[in-house]
Each structure stands twice: as C-alpha cells, then as structure tokens.
C-alpha cells in the first residue's frame, strides 16, 4: 500500500488536490488522467453518495492520484464504508472540538488505535495484501476547521493523537465569522484566521490544507506554507468554461 | 429564488402536494408536468436515497412545482445534502419534542439562525445567485407529528422559532395511539387528535399539512383548514390503477 | 421451460398482456405482481433499451407472467440479445412482407429452423437446463401488421412457417390508411381492416393479438376472437390516474 | 408473510446463508437461484448502499431465500428503509452493550414493541397484506458480537427482549482480542471466545450465527451448534475462482 | 410544439449549439442552464446510448435549448426511439448519397411523408398535444456531409425533399480528403470544400451547420454564413479547463 | 498507444483472455486485477450493452489487460462506438463470408483502409495522443467462424486484407454442424473442423483464437497452436463456484 499524499509530503512538495462533485465516471476519468497528486470525491456538498463514490474511487485507480473523500458528516458508518471502498484519506466537515477530532480518528483507524470495523473489501484489491497491517499508518485524516467554535477549540483539535492535519473551509469560516460565505476570501479578519489556523497546526506538527477556487489563490496558499491545496471543483470549472465559450461565440 | 409553496400560501390557497416514492425519472416527469403545487421526494418510506433524489429534484425543475423532500431521519448530513441538491422544503419524520424541532431548524438554516454548512452546489443552479442571501427565509421546514409523545410535547414543538409548520402522519399516529396504522383515518380518537394538532399549530402561527390517500379525504382536510395536503403516492396510484385495469379486462 | 402464453392458449383462454414502457424496476414489480398472463417490455416506443429491458425481465421473474419484448426494429443483434436475456416472446414492429416475417423467425430460432446464435446466458438461468432443446418450440413470434403494405401482403405474412401470429398496431395502421393515429379506433375502415387481419390470421392457423388502450376495448377485442390483448401501458395508466387524482382534489 | 429463516429453524435445520457484497442484479440472481436458505445484502463492508440493496432485495424475490441485510451501522433511518424495502432480517454490526441491542430491536419493531415508523412500501408488495400485523413476530434481528466490549457485556446482550440472536464476526473479534483479523480463525483464544458466545446465546434461548469463509469451517460451525452459517461472499468466491482458472491455464 | 432552432432562424439569427458527450445529468444541467439555442446529445462519438440520451433529453427540458441528437448511424430503430424520447432535431453521420439523405427523411417523418412508426411516448409529454399534427413540419433533419463521396454527390443530397440541411464534420472530411483529421481546419483544400458545401446548400435552399472547436472559429463560420455552429464539446471544454487549472497552480 | 495482445504475440506467447458477461464494475475490477493478457466485454451473449461496456472498458484501464469487445452483430454504428470507447480489439460474431470479413475490417479502420468515422473520444484519453496515427495498425479484428457456411467460405475469410485473425465459437459451430451446442467439444467432427480452421488460418498468416470453458481445454488449445484462448466467463465461473460452495456446506 502506498499513499501518494504521504509520498509527496516526504519529497517536501505540496499536494495539489482536485475535487470531484459530479457523479460521473467520465468526468472522473478526465480528472484521474490530469495529473493531480490527489483527488477528493465530495460526498458533503458534492453531488455524490456512496454508490457514485465507489465508482469514482474505482476510476481514480486508473491514474496515480491518491483517492480521498470528503464525508457528509462525522458518522462512523459512512467513514468505514468509504475506507473499505479504497479511500486513503478523509476530509471531515465541521470538526468543532477535540472530541470531534478524536471521534474522526477512532472511526478511521483499526483497533487498538481506533474502532474501525474490519472488512476492507475493495481497499485490499486496490492497495494490496499488506493493507490490514499498514492502513493505520497510511490513512490520512483531515479535520475541517470552519467555524468560530472550531477556532476557539483549535488547540485541542490540533493536539489530537492520530489526526494528520486540518483542512480549512473558507466559505463556512467566513459565514461563521459574520461575513458573506465565499471561497478565496480577501476579508482581513478571515485571512488572519486562516493564518492563525495554519500556524497553530504547523506548530503542533500537523499538516494544513485549504479549499481554494482559483489557481492563483491556491498558489498563494502554497507560498504561505499550506501542505495541500484544492483547486476549483469539476462543477465550477465546467460551468465557467462553458459559459465563457458560449459568450465568446455570441460576442 | 422563489418557493411556490410560499407563493401559494401568499395567495391564500392550499398547497396540493404530490408524492414521489419511485426512483424513476420517467414517473417523476409525469408528476412534474401534472400541475402539483409541490412534489415531495420521499427518502423515508419511499424507495429513494440521495442519488435518486438528486435525479428527481432535477426532473422536478422541468415544471413549476416546488421541490420538497422527506428525509429518512433527523440527521444533519442528509438534510444538508438534499438542500444543496435543490430542495426548498423539508418534511422530517418523528419529531417528538421541541428539541427535535429545534435541531431540524438548525440543520436547515445557515448561521446565525442555524448551522447548515455552506455549499449549495445544485441549489444555486436551480434557484439563482441570490440563493445564499434568501435561503433562510425561503426554505420550508415541516415537523412530522405522528406519535403520542409528539402529542404530549406539541406546545413545545409549535413554539419552535424558525419552524414553518407541522405535518401529520396519520399511519404512525394511529399506530402510536393503539389503532391499526392507516391513511385517511376515520377513528374518532385519531380524527380528534388530528383536529387538535391542526388547531394548536394554527393558534401558534404555524402552517399545518397532512398526508392523505384519497382525493376526497384530501379535500376534506383542506376544508378543515389544512395549508398543505398530500394526495396518494405515485406507487399507490399506479398500483391501484393497474390492478383496476386488469380486473376490468378480465371481468 | 414453460411459456405461460402457450399454457394460457392451451387452456383456451385469451392472454391479457401488460405493457412496460417505464425503465424502472419498481413499476415493473408492481406489474409483475398484478397478475397479467404476460408482460411486454417495449423497446420500440417504450423508454427502454437493452440494459433496462434486462432488469425488467429479471423483475418479471418474480411473478408468473410470461416475459415478452417488443424489439425496436427487425435487426438480428437485438432480437438475439433479448432472447438470451430471457424473453420467451417477441413482438416485432413493421413487418411488411413475407420476407420480413421470415427474417423475424430466422432471427428467433436456432438452426436448423433459423440462425439465432447460441449463448442463452440468462435464459438458461430463468428457464432451466432444457432451454436449448425446447426454445424453438416455446418461443412466440408475433409480427406487427400495421401498414397498408402489410395489409397488401397479409396472405404471405400469415403463411410464414414458424411464425406464431400477428399483432395489430392500430395507431400506425390508422396513420398508414390516412387517418389520425390513435389506439382503440372506431373509424369503420380501420375496424374493418382489423377484422380482416384477424380473420386472415385465424384462417391461416395463426394467433392474433392487438394493442388496446381501454379495458372496455380490450374486452371487445377478446369477444371478437383475439388471442392476446394488451391493455393500456404503465405510462398511460400512471399519467391518467395522476391527473385524475389531482383534479379530484382541486375540484 | 413467511420468513424462510424461521421455517428452516422450525424444521430443526441450520440456515445456510449466502452473502451479497457486489451491487449487481446479475450476481444477485445467480445467488437467488442457487438455493440458499437466506441471502444477506451487505451494506457495511459490502459494496452496497440503499439503492443497490433495494435492487438486490427485488432480485432475491425471484427465488425462495429469505432476504436479509447487514446494515452499515446502528442507525434508525437505514434500518427502517431496508425493512420497508422487504428485508425480513437484520444483521447489525458492533452491538457492544445491552443498550445497543435494545436500540436495534426498537428500530426494527413497530409500536408498542418498538418505534419503527410505519410505511412498508415494498415489504407489503413482497410479503402480502398481513405484513403490518405479523411483521413484529416474523422479522429476525441478529446482533453482531465482535468486540471485547461485547464479550464483557454478553449476558446483557443475550437478555435483550425481542432480539432473535447473535451473529459472530470473527475478523473484528480477532482484531479486538489482539490477533490478526481473519475469518475461519483457528487461534485457540478466539475459538474459545466463539464457543463461549455460542453457549451463552443458546442458554439464554437466543439463536446464534457466524460468518465463515470456507464451506469446511461452516460445516464445523453447524456441528458445533450454530443455527446460521454464512459461507464465503460473492466477491471472495468470484475472486478465488477467477484467479484459480487463470493459473490453471498458465500452469 | 415549438422548436427553438426554427424560431431562431425565423429571427434571422444563427443557432449556437452545445454538445453533450458525457452521459451525466449534472453536466447536462450545467449546459441546459447556460443559454445555448440548441443542445445536441451525441450518440455517435459521444459516450451516450439511448438510455443516457433519454435522461439528457429530460434534463434539457429544464431550460429553453432545442433538444437535438446525433444518431450513431443511419438506422431506423434508433432514429425513431430518439424522436419518441423528445428530440426535435437529428444530425445523422455519413450521409454519402441522395439515397442516404432520403432514408434519413423517411425515418424521421410520419406517413405519408415518411415511415416513422407512431408512438411519441415522451415527445408528447415534452412538446404537447399537437405533436402528432405538427411533428413533420417542426422536426429538423441535418445530413452530415463528411466524405469525398458525399462531396461528389452533394447536388443530390441537397436536393432531397424534406431534408432541412447539411452539417459538416470537418474531421472526417479532412481524413477523407487525405489530411490529418482535425476540427477547425485551416488546410486550404478543406476550407475550400467547406465553402463549396455551404454555397451549394444555401443555393438549394438548405440550412448549413458545422462542427467547431474554438469559439473564434465558430464566430468565423457564422460570418461566412452558416446557420448553425457547434462550439467545443462538454468533454473537451472540461478537459482543457482542468488541465489549465492544474498547470496554473503548479507553474 | 500499446496493445498488449500484439505485445504478447511479439513475445511468442499465447494470449489468455478473460470474458466479461456481467455488467458490473466490481466483477470487472476483480478481472482487471487478475492478470489476464486481455479481457473481452461481451455485448452479444453477455449481459452488456454500450453503456455498461463503456464502464467496463474504463475499469479494465485499472490493470494491464488489453480491452476487447465482442460486438452484438456486424453493424457499423456499434463497432465505431466501442472503438471510440477504448476497445483495442473486436471479436465479431457470425462472419460467414469474405464479404462479411471485409465489412468488419472497413468498419474498424480509418480511411483509406476503411471507413471508420473519426472521433476517438475516450480512446484518445486511454491510449494517448498518437492514437489517430497508429490505430489502424494496432487494432485487432477477429472474425468469428462458427457456421457451416463460414467453413465453406473459410479460404475467402482468411484471405481478407487487414483482418487479424479468426475466433472459433464452438457452440454455434457444433449447432450448425448438427450437434448439441456446447463449449469444449469432444465430438470428432467438430474437433476436426476446429483443427481445419486453425490450420487454414495459420497457413494464411492469420491469428487464431478459440472460446473455451475449462482451463484444461484452453491449455490443450494452446498446445494445438492457438494464439488466443478464452477461459470460462465471469458468469459461469461465479455460478459454478457458488453452487459448489453451497453443496460443500450442505453435504
């Protein structure tokens, strides 16, 4: 079993992550062949559920990107199902306390470190016979820090044993702080909160990731020290490019 | 963003709601073109889950009916996913206390009124760019009152800030009160409970809806003062009409 | 292997046939449990193709109805695929000559009677180990007579060796004769053509079926001597009953 | 309504259970026609979710096996949905206390014995009009005992009113006891724990089932007194047989 | 029944056509809401077949674009099925002779103009009760001219009674003329052939369309006098934009 | 672009081919990871059509096996669609004459060698940017010889320019020669016909493949000189192994 996220980090490079919101094996294959370090199947705000996620995780195996998922909620059933389906990393929304973060880790790891139930049906196909032995050290868990409450409890979250890192959701963070929800925020208070999360995570030895929209913002976040940046999403990229093409013909 | 349920109520007309239990875009399109004020995709007792619900919500956009969903259970993940998929109203089963009702509202609304996570992927396609700004005032939340416990806690439920109304499930209500579970109940004790729920809701300034089987019963409920009536379900309508046609040939 | 169509005819009873236009296993199960003698998956004007037809043929196996298909066109590939998927009868549109009818028979039967390729993948699951031996005598082939040209060549069509019977499509027949296309025609010239087809078929020792909409018309056709009548279609039955229910509430 | 599991037990025979991990109606039909006493659609480690489970439950109705499901987690929404879809038995993972077992029973039974919501949409199609009346006595609930904690609380679990029995998951049990997770364990401590669970269950008047891989181990478990044994899984059987066939050609 | 292609032409505006190669209702909805005059579901080189085409045609009904299809081949079965599914226009590949063009028209039109079989199952839902009466005058048929043979027989093709126009496939045309197959060709001989086809068609009173990749080329073709231009395809637009975004982050 | 079939032959090794009849990405992934030299998606007697074939071709890309298809019939539309979807080889049933074989080659190759329409939508994703240039030399075409007529016209078939080889279908061949249709035939006349086809093909410089059931028979055919052997099918392997496992428990 290999996890290209850990390999990329071992080479001191940031992970560039693609985002799959569309439940289509065709759009997934386009992304799987594009060259991302990792690809995340989004089951929260993306238009996927387990069955489409399974299909997309299969398709990601065509290429070399590490397969990640964003789970819809902190719930043990779906966490287990997606790891069994071959995800090597989890992004979990709305981690607002150390207790939430600890639950995420418990759901993701086998005993004695956690309480994940054993039965890696597709994971063992996709990652090989040593899966059971090395899964606990290979799987990546990223806790979304995206509320004022999470900011207040940040020290506890980043101190969670077994957690790999934090992942910032700028839209919810902005909303929670009283601003209009948006990606790639420029609002000084939000930017400052992002910097504080980054520094707190890195000081605690955690990895830090952030959800971005434009390539330019993502590049800036890499410069700032983030270990993982998400760029756009399949649905936003297709929508923008389609509208732009149509306007270009009509102009 | 518009919500035909609120528009209908603003015109002092009752909402006639259709019910989609079949996970088929074809049966959904038949309903979407039939002229209902709203259509509810049922993920509880209906044969739908998220992926089929997404497809049906897309199909409902062909016509003018407001897209509603009945969620399988009071759980934040699925509530958020279905609103992001474009539902403008939620019917939630088994709301048995003011605390349950308050959780439903919190899951359905953005901060500061609630804690819905931001990412209205299809909702913004379907309802337009002002979605984020007006979603909290447009989305309809209906708490199912269908147990003896809910009857006992009715005053608390209807006092829930942000809740739009109650929706009566006659089968479970009958069962909970010790009678055979059935729709369109005539049992005096059940009818009396229905009347009490209606009156309590209206007195508290809440909307009231009820699940009916026959058009005749639904008409009666409208006369009694209900703001929303569901008639039949796709599966019951097709089953009855098919059996009737076959019997008519064989007779 | 059994074919309930042949069993019904052996008991001197007419076959009442249901019609599946909707590609949904749920609407198919409703029909499969309703008690039809046979059920036809329609791949011509119905909204089905091979993959949905396979699923519907599987679902029909839940009940006792004989599984039939209407193929989209007289083409050997799809005829073979649907027989391999378990259909025990074929309705083929637009059979306009004895040559067309002979091709239908050839595509449907194994050598030496025909040239169907051998590989009854699901048929052998559904109909048992004697399938290869008895398929040629059990499979039913019905040639649609629905154009003026077919009327002109009727004697040749009904003389086709191996053909089971004819199946009248009243809409196309009306259209071809210069009338508005409709089911359950009352137009004297069309009714007269229907009678002529029926008599010619029966005289030649062929079975005769007809596509009907209303149970009343179907009953009349049985009285007239038809061996098989189709009543309505899932899509028409659901549409009528849904619109009727909504109107009954609003009235 | 009939439940072949209860019929088999009434004849003093052990239930041989097949296991469906693959979300395919074709592999399910192969199993449905194979002659198992029961078939379990696995939504935990199997690659199924609700929508595929619904399709597989429909297909199981082609044959005579009792339809069971393993739910992904102890959660009322999915328990209710799968019973409404026609499952007559539930296997629930990670039952670690009497309280967990009691919740399973409550979710599975109608009032007054439990709190299952009423709306058996497909169950009533599949099991007949007496479903509502007899469901509580026919449905089988099996609590998975598969952790050290469950071993510690075993007496409480088997004393749960309304529970049908326990079902041993040897992989998780081994893992929880500090051994490599595997099926068909030979490790004396694990074997001893299995025996203790069996005896405790039988003494308390409960049924006992166990998840096996090889037919030989399953036979041994029957000899030991188990009431239900699962053999292999569709995915393991296909994988082994495919690799064996390829090796046999290349050797 | 309305056909936005004919309406656009009636206003003396060129039709800007989008191209759906991806069998996904989500990517289709993005296109359906983008504002194209027409959208073509491609069943030839696109990754669609009938069942996905049906779903995409349903989704196109959400917006105002005219629904077109490119059929896989000149075959009556699939032409009829796609018109019945609601397509109001057909692009047919490899029309190499007047006889081919006449067959396309016959397959697309009802008697007496053609031999399309009657049963507009979804078309009547989507286009209204006057469908049967006006379909022959509303449906658009475009013959692909894309081979040397077609160039040789161009006069016969454009003289076909009932044909709406021609549609140029520059890749196959280039290949057939001995050049590398590509869209937006600049090769003088190919450009000259394109001009000749355009002029011949317009002189004969036919419409002319062309398949383009870039908006710039499409604009140029409009200037040259084409009545319909296709811009890019969903799959090309997504692929280019995804690769560009990733490169922009990594640069 | 690479074709593992041609690579294997270049190394003087026989191709061991797996057979996919089940339309499931899960059973396909099991096969894709098993190590076959090639895998054939069967659209004739297998339970696949275009859309499932597309999904299976995507899944085959996870492993190293060459993706083949058996088309349902000699028809240009489906041949082109499957090559565009990424198949690098075609097995075509019922090639009964040199003319049939020549048509197969024409449908499979680009001009000037053939008349395949250009638009390798997924093929270019799967096989790289040189696809258009090298497809004609890389794609493998295998003509099924499986009737008496084909035996009579064998010399013409194997003389077809551009054809890669023949593929024997023993069931149809047996049936056509008057014997019970079966795989792995031992009937001397059939065995003798198989030998004659093999020798005629090899003498003409053609490759020869054969459809086998048991590994033992496949090994024998390799010894006899066949260049490609198919072993079993996913559906037969799963069925046999499932029944065997169940019998082993019950014995």
Of D51, D73, D175, the CB nearest to A77: D73
Q: Which residues of chain D have pLDDT under 70?
A: none
Give the model's confidence band at A3: pLDDT under 50 very low, under 70 low, under 90 confident, else very high: very high
Nearest by Cα to A94 from A147, A140, A137, A50: A147
At E5-51, the pLDDT tens digits run: 999 999 999 999 999 999 999 999 999 999 999 999 999 999 999 99
At C116-170, the pLDDT tens digits run: 999 999 999 999 999 999 999 999 999 999 999 999 999 999 999 999 999 999 9
Return d(Cα C141, Cα C108) in angstroms, integer. 8
Look at D30 and F242 and tell me if their CB atoms are within 8 Å: yes
Buried b (16+ CB within 10 A) or exposed e, A3-39: bbbbebbeeeebbbbbbbbbbbbbbbbbbbbbbbbbb
Is the CATH code 3.20.20.60 the one for domain F4-246?
yes
Give the pLDDT score at A232: 87
Residue of F63, F219, F250, F251 to mutate for D, most D C-beta atoms under 10 A: F250
Find the helix packing angle between D50-60 and D25-32, rounded to 10°. 30
On average, the pLDDT of chain E sits at: 97
Distance from CA of A87 to the nearest CA of F (A): 16
Q: Do chains D and E touch (3 or more CB pairs under 8 A)?
A: no
β-strands C140-145, D228-230 pairing: unpaired
Return d(Cα A132, Cα D182) in angstroms, integer. 10
Give the pLDDT score at D232: 87
Chain A residue with Cα closest to D46: A121
Look at E238 and A241 and tell me if their CB atoms are within 8 Å: yes
Give the pLDDT score at F251: 85
Chain D residue with Cα closest to B176: D111
Question: DSSP E strands: which ranges in A150-240?
Answer: 165-168, 207-211, 228-230
Return d(Cα A158, Cα A163) in angstroms, integer. 8
Burial class (CB in 10 A: 0-12, 13-18, 19+), D35: middle
Distance from CA of B120 to the nearest CA of A (A): 7
Look at A55 and F25 and tell me if their CB atoms are within 8 Å: yes
| Joined tokens for residue C185 | 């025609």
Residue F186 neighbours by CB under 8 Å, 6+ apart: none
Q: Does A122 touch chain D (CB under 8 A)?
A: yes
Residue of C73, C92, C94 to mutate for E, most E C-beta atoms under 10 A: C73
At F60-114, the pLDDT tens digits run: 999 999 999 999 999 999 999 999 999 999 999 999 999 999 999 999 999 999 9
- Domain C4-250 CATH superfamily: Phosphoenolpyruvate-binding domains (3.20.20.60)
Chain E residue with Cα closest to B52: E25
Look at E122 and B58 and tell me if their CB atoms are within 8 Å: no
Residues of B in Cβ contact (< 8 Å) with A49: 49-51, 81
Q: Read off the pLDDT of each residue in F31-36 and give the average, rounded to a whole number.
A: 98
pLDDT exceeds 90 at position A141:
yes
pLDDT exceeds 90 at position C232:
no
Q: Read off the pLDDT of each residue in A28-56 and give the average, rounded to a whole number.
A: 98
Q: Read off the pLDDT of each residue in F113-123 and give the average, rounded to a whole number.
A: 97
Give the pLDDT score at C143: 98
Assess contact for E118 and C171: CB atoms under 8 A.
Answer: yes
**Considering B45, B122, B148, B182, which one is annotated as catalytic?**
B45
Return d(Cα B35, Cα E117) in angstroms, integer. 30
In degrees to the nearest 10, what's the CA dihedral of E181, E183, E187, E190?
80
Give the model's confidence band at F232: pLDDT under 50 very low, under 70 low, under 90 confident, else very high: confident
pLDDT exceeds 90 at position A251:
no
**DSSP reduced 3-state for A211:** strand
Look at E27 and A22 and tell me if their CB atoms are within 8 Å: yes
β-strands F165-168, F207-211 pairing: parallel
Query: Residue C117 has what DSSP assignment?
Result: P
Give the pLDDT score at D60: 98
Nearest by Cα to B112 from A172, A144, A175: A175
Residues in chain D: 251
Q: Read off the pLDDT of each residue in A198-205 and give the average, rounded to a whole number.
A: 98
Q: Does C16 touch chain B (CB under 8 A)?
A: yes
Assess contact for E144 and E208: CB atoms under 8 A.
Answer: no
User: Which spans in chain E are helix H?
Assistant: 4-10, 25-32, 50-60, 76-84, 98-108, 121-127, 131-138, 148-152, 154-158, 170-176, 188-203, 215-224, 234-250
pLDDT exceeds 90 at position E232:
no
Q: Does A130 touch chain D (CB under 8 A)?
A: no
Assess contact for D56 and D86: CB atoms under 8 A.
Answer: no
Q: Does C243 touch chain D (CB under 8 A)?
A: no
pLDDT exceeds 90 at position C40:
yes
Write down which chains contact chain B via at least 3 CB pairs under 8 A.
A, C, D, E
Nearest by Cα to B228 from B24, B6, B34, B50: B6
Domain ranges of chain E: 4-250
- How far does chain F reach from its first CA to its final CA, in angstroms? 52
DSSP β-bridge partners for residue F210: F168, F229
Q: Read off the pLDDT of each residue in F159-181 and give the average, rounded to a whole number.
A: 97
Q: Does D103 touch chain B (CB under 8 A)?
A: no
Residue D5 neighbours by CB under 8 Å, 6+ apart: D15, D37, D38, D66, D68, D88, D89, D140, D228
3-state helix, strand, coil in chain D (%, to 5): 50, 15, 35
DSSP β-bridge partners for residue A211: A230
pTM (2 d.p.): 0.98
On average, the pLDDT of chain A sits at: 97
Residues of E in Cβ contact (< 8 Å) with F50: 49
Query: What percentage of chain C exceeds 70 in pLDDT?
Result: 100
Give the pLDDT score at F50: 98
Assigned CATH for A4-139+208-250: 3.20.20.60
Q: Does F77 touch chain C (CB under 8 A)?
A: no
Distance from CA of A65 to the nearest CA of D (A): 22
Main-chain dihedrals φ then ψ at residue F59, nearest 5 degrees: -65, -40
ipTM metric = 0.96
| Joined tokens for residue D3 | 């439940």
Q: What is the Cα B141 distance to its own chain's centre?
A: 8
Q: Give the DSSP H/E element, type plus range, for residue B143.
A: strand B140-145
User: Which spans in chain F are helix H?
Assistant: 4-10, 25-32, 50-60, 76-84, 98-108, 121-127, 131-138, 148-152, 154-158, 170-176, 188-203, 215-224, 234-250
Return d(Cα D89, Cα C114) in angstroms, integer. 48
Q: Read off the pLDDT of each residue in C80-89 and give the average, rounded to a whole number.
A: 98
Give the pLDDT score at E251: 86
Return d(Cα B192, Cα F69) in angstroms, integer. 66
Question: DSSP E strands: which ranges in D118-200?
Answer: 140-145, 165-168
Q: Read off the pLDDT of each residue in A77-83 and give the average, rounded to a whole number.
A: 98
Distance from CA of C58 to the nearest CA of D (A): 7
Look at D16 and F249 and tell me if their CB atoms are within 8 Å: yes
Of C49, C54, C119, the CB nearest to F44: C119
Nearest by Cα to E5 from E53, E67, E80, E63: E67
Residues in chain E: 251
Residue of B19, B239, B245, B251 to mutate for C, most C C-beta atoms under 10 A: B245
Main-chain dihedrals φ then ψ at residue A169, nearest 5 degrees: -105, 95
**DSSP reduced 3-state for C11:** coil
Q: Which residues of chain B have pLDDT under 50?
A: none
Give the pLDDT score at B206: 98
């Amino acid at each position: 079993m290999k996890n290209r996220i850990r390999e990329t980090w071992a080479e001191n490079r940031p992970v560039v992550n693609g985002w799959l919101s569309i439940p289509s094996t065709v759009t997934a294959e386009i992304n799987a062949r594009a060259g991302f370090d990792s690809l995340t199947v989004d089951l929260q705000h993306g238009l996927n559920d387990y069955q489409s996620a399974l299909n997309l995780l299969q398709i990601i195996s065509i290429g070399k990107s590490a397969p990640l998922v964003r789970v819809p909620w902190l719930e043990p059933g779906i966490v287990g199902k997606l790891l069994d389906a071959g995800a090597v990393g989890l992004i979990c929304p709305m981690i607002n306390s150390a207790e939430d973060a600890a639950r995420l880790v418990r759901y993701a790891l086998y005993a004695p470190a956690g309480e994940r139930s054993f039965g890696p049906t597709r994971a063992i196909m996709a990652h090989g016979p040593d899966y059971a032995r090395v899964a606990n050290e290979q799987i990546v868990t990223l806790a979304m820090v995206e509320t004022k409450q999470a900011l207040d409890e940040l020290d506890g979250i980043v101190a969670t044993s077994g957690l790999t890192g934090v992942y910032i959701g700028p839209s919810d963070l902005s909303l929670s702080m009283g601003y209009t929800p948006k990606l790639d925020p420029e609002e000084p208070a939000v930017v400052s909160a992002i910097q504080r999360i980054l520094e707190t995570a890195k000081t605690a030895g955690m990895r830090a990731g952030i959800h971005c929209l434009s390539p330019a913002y993502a590049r800036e976040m890499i410069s700032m020290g983030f270990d993982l940046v998400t760029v756009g999403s399949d649905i936003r990229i297709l929508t923008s490019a389609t509208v732009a093409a149509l306007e270009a013909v009509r102009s």
